[in-house]
Chains A and B, each alone.
Chain A
Amino acid sequence: MSIKVYVPLDSGAVALGANEVAAAIVQKADKAGADIQVVRNGSFGMYWLEPMVEVETPRGRVAYGPVSTDDIDALFEADFLAGGAHKLFLGRTQDIPFLKSQSRLTFQRCGIIDPLSLDDYRAQDGLTGLENALKMSGADIVKAVTDSGLRGRGGAGFPTGIKWNTVREADGDQKYIVCNADEGDSGTFADRMIMEGEPFVLIEGMIIAGLATGATKGYVYTRSEYPDAIRIMNEAIEVARSAGVLGNNVLGSGKVFDMEVRMGAGAYVCGEETSLLNSMEGKRGVVRAKPPLPALQGFLGRPTVVNNVISLCSVPVILEKGPEYYRDFGMGRSRGTIPIQIAGNVKHGGLYEVGFGMTLGEIVEQIGGGTASGRPVKAVQVGGPLGAYFPRELFDTPFDYEEFAKRDGLIGHAGVVVFDDTVDMMKQARFAMEFCAIESCGKCTPCRIGSIRGTEVVDKLERGEDPELQVDLLRDLCETMKFGSLCALGGFTPYPVLSALNHFPDDFKPRALDIAAE
């Protein structure tokens, strides 16, 4: 029997040379007469070890990484196909501490299975949640999701079950499930990883959402920057359709649900649910005023569930193992697990799924291993470009929606971006305003004009023009944007700006003297 060799197809691994490594292994095996089968799996999310190659051995899957094409000859000489010793040997995959210490519920199969093999998915208990849901009423499914304590993983943290119930009770011949996969926040890649590594769990979650609410059509709206995720999702939908998981007779139940993928066109603001709906309708991605809620008047004016990828992917395990199982992870009002994405200047960057409650310091120092540059950590931005910068002094903050809010921050989509002591916080504050100006949809004035004025004020501050006045103006402007903007883009841009200003005041001293000295 041929030996199974796993080389990830995840775009993070591919960006580090996984395709070339896979080709080199096949070529070398041909030459050596070794009988191998290369499986392109998802990534386990340990990006400092990518491309991570695994071999199936009698003691389980063992890993080598990071592998480059230059290592292939030596790996064959070391008999890596039998798990032989080599300097890149990492031991059994499941024993790697970064992986072993996680609680993988949502990402339980990501990395383990061939993403496009429905048999693999079923063999690992995939579709059990859906089978259970098919035996339940819509109201009971909603109750299970509500009882699990699941809150929207896109950032707003709204209880998923309550949103579903609004759609379930809404009148309408046609209802929709829209998956918000417009993952534009820097430092986040959980949606991409699971769409590339375990697409069937998203399909399963969307079908369950359809059964719960009476929606028969689903859309995944994702980014043009994610071509691999789009390709894999489309292929997985085809596989699910031909296996009778999607279509007019879901798993033989007589229930109807089908779905398709829609591609955005490079507008960050389309991650906001109402702009996303406008974009899907073929309009400019401009924010809609709420009410009406999308749950009542969403896509094409019809009742629509808009959920983040990770929210939907967390549903199958809740239906499989019960709401209590999921709810027992976490702390306070933040129940279940959260896939934390550790990125930027960090030694062990990757995806770490764990129950809520770990402190920011533990995440950055212990799990992330500190900076990649070896210099001290100066700031950590949590929650994407609209998230606050945290100084070391706040490293005791537990990862929890309410605890972050108490310290003027937000979890957002759970991206953690680490910066070392070379970062200039005034520059980061200016960038937050600049980014808002580039991406503003233009509908409301505080965001459209405020962000431009914001960059100008920071520029004046940098030039030393009446610095105290500029700081006052910046604070005042942030206040206006926070309370006057229609959506989170203008409304949350003050978080990175004010947190930089409040926690790192030394960086906001005028630079005029430096310029004069040059």
Chain B
Amino acid sequence: MSETTKDQNVRVEAICDQLITMEGPLLPILHEVQEEFGHIPEGALQTIAKKLNLSRAEVHGVASFYHDFREEKAGKHVIKICRAEACQAMGADALGDQVRRHLRVDWSQTTADRKITLEPVFCLGLCACAPAAMVDGKVVGRVTSDRMNRILNEVGA
């Protein structure tokens, strides 16, 4: 076992130990592991499975079911654009097209320089200030085409 894998195991085990007494600890553990590593590392599945007395397949099944959990790290910046109806009514489709063209990526992809990940999101609860987006965890409402260009500039796209 390499030093990095060992270190990873130690960190994952520490997270499990900290949360294992919760009722239904798996989702909180996966969130915490993703917070720590930026994604759910392949090797973490086995460690979590052992701690929770589950099979690796079960943990993989859960991690792959939810849109939030990533198999690989996201780009340096994450832009989420709402694609749901209220935002569609205010031009979200055109906004999505604009960003995909600009970044030359499709939904759920990362730019070649690993700088920006573009993700669809279905509702941020900002439906009365549509179209809405979330940039590195920060919410933005009434995103016009100009506003989006400024955001893209700020993240260096």
Which residues from chain A sit less than 8 Å from chain B, CB to CB? 11-12, 14-16, 45, 47-48, 50, 183-189, 191-192, 224-228, 262-268, 279-286, 299-300, 341-346, 349-351, 372, 381, 385, 415, 417-420, 423, 428, 431, 435, 438-439, 441
Contact = CB atoms under 8 A, between A and B. Distances in A.
A48 to B, nearest CB: 8
B128 A267 contact: no
Contact of A187 (B30, B86, B129): B86
Given A186-B84, A282-B62, A262 B89 contact: no
B118 interface: no
B31 A14 contact: no
A99 B68 CA distance: 37
Given A186-B86, A262-B28, A341 B127 contact: yes
Interface of B: 23-28, 30-31, 52, 61-62, 65-69, 82, 84-90, 121-130, 132, 134, 137, 139-142
B128 A12 contact: yes
B128 A431 contact: no
Contacts of B66: 264-267, 285
Specify which of B30, B86, B121, B141 lies most central, judged by the most chain A CB atoms within 10 Å of its CB.
B86
Nearest to A435: B122
B50 to A, nearest CB: 15
17 contacts: A12-B129, A15-B132, A16-B129, A183-B123, A188-B127, A224-B68, A262-B27, A262-B28, A265-B68, A267-B65, A284-B61, A284-B65, A343-B86, A372-B90, A417-B89, A428-B85, A439-B122
Contact of B123 (A184, A350, A420): A184
Contacts of B128: 12, 45, 47-48, 189, 341-343, 346, 349-351
A50 B24 CA distance: 39
Of B25, B30, B85, B87, chain A has the most CB atoms within 10 Å of the CB of: B85
B151 to A, nearest CB: 12
A132 B90 CA distance: 46
Nearest to B31: A263
Contacts of B122: 184, 186, 268, 385, 435, 438-439
B139 A11 contact: yes
Nearest to A346: B128
Given A381-B85, A419-B89, 7 more contacts: A16-B129, A187-B86, A188-B127, A263-B27, A266-B68, A280-B27, A435-B84
Secondary structure dominating the interface of A: mixed
A413 to B, nearest CB: 11
B62 A283 contact: yes
Contacts of B126: 11-12, 15, 189
Contacts of A225: 121, 123-125, 134
Contacts of B141: 12, 15-16
A184 B142 CA distance: 19
A50 B127 contact: no
Contacts of B90: 344-345, 372
A42 to B, nearest CB: 13
Contact of B139 (A15, A186, A187, A344): A15
B86 A344 contact: yes
Given A282-B27, A284-B61, A300-B24, A423 B89 contact: yes
